[in-house]
Structure 1
Amino acid sequence: MLSLAASVAALEYIPQLKNYRLMDWDAVQQVVDFKPSIVTKSDPIVEAEVRLKPGRALEKTGARAAVEPLSDPKGSLHAFYEAIERVEAGEPGAVVRLAHYGDSPTTADLITADVRALLQKRFGDAGHGFYLIAKPWAWYGHRGVDSDSSGWDTEASNLTRVRDGYYGYGGVSFKGAAGARARFRLKEPGYVRVEVAYWQQLNGGSFTVEACGDRLGEQATAGEPSEGFTAYTLPADCKDIAVSVQSGPVRLFGVQFLRGSNGVVYDSLGLNGAYISVLAKFLREDHWAKELQHYAPDVVVINYGTNESVYAAFVDKVFEKELRESIRRIRAALPDKSILVMSPMDRGERNAAGQIETVPALQRLVELERKVAADEGVAFFNTFEAMGGNGTMAKWYAAEPRLVGADFIHPMPGGAKIIGNLLYQAMVDGYNRYKTAKTTAQFAKTGL
């Protein structure tokens, strides 16, 4: 008991551990005082709804919200918008695909699941997209897919000490011998195709793919080192798929599930503890380029900064260089596609007085991202400002229900939904502006 008490006290009084406290004494005091919850006009959910619905903002305030979070002066997102146009026009096989690289919130498909759902509701559901073979972290998962696995040696590109750079599209590789297995259960019917991404190697073994108890095929992975992909047609309405190693060694990256219909595929590619170096250095450039070219996303979202924001020296000396390198790599691999730099959310910490405030380097980091995006001619989504700017996590933590966890970093589902809605609305507003400008230019050209 004394050891436990000492541990709790250490978390309270050691500055380096203040964001990992086990007790929130302010919350305890509120419980003791039996204070009733009161929703005020400054409630962040209400504020977010006003920003999300311009008509409602006009009705309530008489003026539009000042924040315009999506900046794209060079038209970097036009390739993305053109893909949406093809889907809306009903072109055969038209699919718009998004690749969202991010840090820990996206490892559980937070934010990305909400954007995916909104885009697919509006433009059609072409499939779930990429999903890692196994769970690198217990909380890894995507909305719409359940999974379990055994027998894999997991190597995340940002966590392993010895990096060979071969981590596939999702930044994690999984090595298995005979008996290693992964099972996926889709929550909705209608999927027609499954594809497995693997690494071919000189001494490679083989794996099988099964669907609803039927073996679809066996894939050998022996050969000259290279990227490999094998796809199979799923039985009608089958929702249970398994991948099993028959002989080893086998190195796999992930699976993707597709519907075969027009619409949106949204790949959530988050890594726990990830930072910009994942894209700039940890993924081998030639390998990652081939992975990107295979999946061919119409827009790549670069969504880092949360973890970097508490390392001021990294922000001031390294971040800009590595963000530029990440953009260069993506542009080299996908020269005709779109790139969107997405800033991190607000990140809070307690000051000496116990108040929650934005970490000092975060605003400098967001400004760096804005500057680099402008210099490189890519789009920029200012999540930090869109959600409310400086001090927002303090408001989110005080909200009822809470919108952020006790670390003042990871959003609760309600907070994630706000961010997802903000990003979705910004994308749709940008698309509508693109269509309006295109129509106006066509009328001007014809003299109408």
Structure 2
Amino acid sequence: MTAESTAADPAKTSLWRDRNFTTFWAGQALGQFGAQLGQLALPVLAVTLLHASEFEVGVLNAAGLAAFLAVGLPAGAWVDRWLKRRTMTTADLLRMAAMAAVPLLWWSGSLEIWHLYAVAAIVGTATVFFDVAYQSYVPVLVPSEHVREANSKLEATAQIARIGGPAAGGALLAVVSAPVLFVGEAAGYLLSAVFLNRTRDTEVSAPAAARRPLRVEIREGLSFVVRHPLISRIAACTGGMNFSGMLIYTMMPVLVLRNLALGPQGMGLIMTLGAVGGLLGAVLAPRVAARIGEGTVIPVCAVASSGFVLLVPLAGVVSEPAASLVLLVVSEIGFGFSVLVYNILQLTMRQRVCPPRLLGRMNASIRFAVWGVMPLAALASGYLGEHIGLVPTMLIGAAGSFLATAPVLFSPLRTMRTLPDQVQEDGVPESEVLDDGPAGGRG
């Protein structure tokens, strides 16, 4: 790039004027809204219409997440070889077809719980590839200076969808049956694919000559995650918190819909108001990070989110339904806020410090570690829910969530005002970014 051309440098251009980003952003916003309709419809359909047991609810959650454990690692190596936008488009179309099958089976009178297992598994597998490509696509689409801003905008609109989707779903369930909402989710995935097709980028496929055996490329991505002094701690914390959280949230639909009898509208209200907290977290993440430090905010939010999940089992022992509803709403708002701030900061750091050629494998390795534990937790939650009860299962999850914060709470992140922004090719951060002196934000 010449000196004369820097005036037109896209890094200096606002993302609001970046047509490719705004097209991508609009498609993801519409896709997220449709997907949120289905997020409410699936537990309602399973619990209220198919009368699923606690263990069946656990199996359903596990089916949707099993792909992160089964194909999470090779997905990263494949995504690094493929065009990321094309990968996301294909995944959207597969998810659309699977979701559209649910109302068809329902209207034909043949829908059974195992059909939902199959649909969840197909959607989960496609989501693995979509999410790995999605997290690796932002640095391809926008300059590095705008990565945090882009992540914040995308998360903000995702949270708006999580507000409007469950609210609309809860209202619609008063007049239509749950399977109808799957039509809305299928439409959301279709719109996402259409807008992705209209997005333009300059990415080219990795040359075939540069490819190595799949196991070698997978090992390289895992090695980067394990050896990085910050990413390894974040992966350990997030994985532990996800396992513990799934013990709680797998049983939450049973608690809300069956034990507390708050109905689909109550479930939709809880999800909607919880998403308000997430929206605030997405919007305020840069300000919170500037206020208390980019690194410090990660352990702070990890501990805070663990405190908020403790309110869920407490809601299960309160005798007054209105008080239970208040506890669940407060829990969801606080949890949504703290988790979104945590996610935006740690994801931005990962994208900034990882060499571009390793982005897909790094993200897949992280997803394998932190999402791969979730189907195991969902099965454990279903088993424990049937044998020791919902509240004891949730209390175990809350205790585990606090313990999982240790890797980031007792790490350099706790006193780090600025997260690393540069890497050597081997993925090890420059030494000064881990300095505990004034530049690292101590005191």
Larger Cα Rg: Structure 1 or Structure 2? 1
- Structure with bigger strand share is 1
TM-score, normalised relative to structure 1: 0.29
TM-score, normalised relative to structure 2: 0.29
- Structure with bigger helix share is 2
